[in-house]
Amino acid sequence: MLSARDKPPEERGAVGLQGFAIDKSFLTNPKGILLEVELALTFIMAICFAASISAYMAAPLLEFLITLAFIFLYATQYYQRFQRLNWPCLDFLRCVSAVVILLVVSFAAVVSREGPAIAAFVFGVIVVFVFIYDAFKIYQAEMAPSPTPGDQ
């Protein structure tokens, strides 16, 4: 029997990455698009902070990396290997923490009255509303108690 080391390099690479196959349908469904919008807006916000007040750049960059990790976990279906974690709750907490952190950083940055800081504030407010919408959809779909047939 041939082991993975005995195979040619091109076959070894394909076998080693089978667990990380990207589900392209996730990237086009509403949850995937919402995560992509969050990713883009936090990146733009980080760039605006880099141009003005680089001390505030860490918050949107951290949210960017966390959102990127969630996109990776959801798109590769890798999150299913961790059955003990409550993924809807983790996703909800990611959104709520992003709302709090980005709102505080956005309002702190607008005080400087620099052009890029004001742009970061505008993108921060927009991304906060996107995170609020995402948290609402997660709560509505996964966490809200479902009505029983007798409750009407």
pLDDT over 70 percentage in the chain: 85
CA dihedral sign of residues 91, 55, 36, 103: positive
pTM over cut 0.75: yes
pLDDT in tens, 41-77: 999 988 888 888 778 888 889 999 999 998 988 888 8
Residue 42, burial from CB neighbour count under 10 angstroms (0-12, 13-18, 19+): buried
Residue with more model confidence, 8 or 73: 73
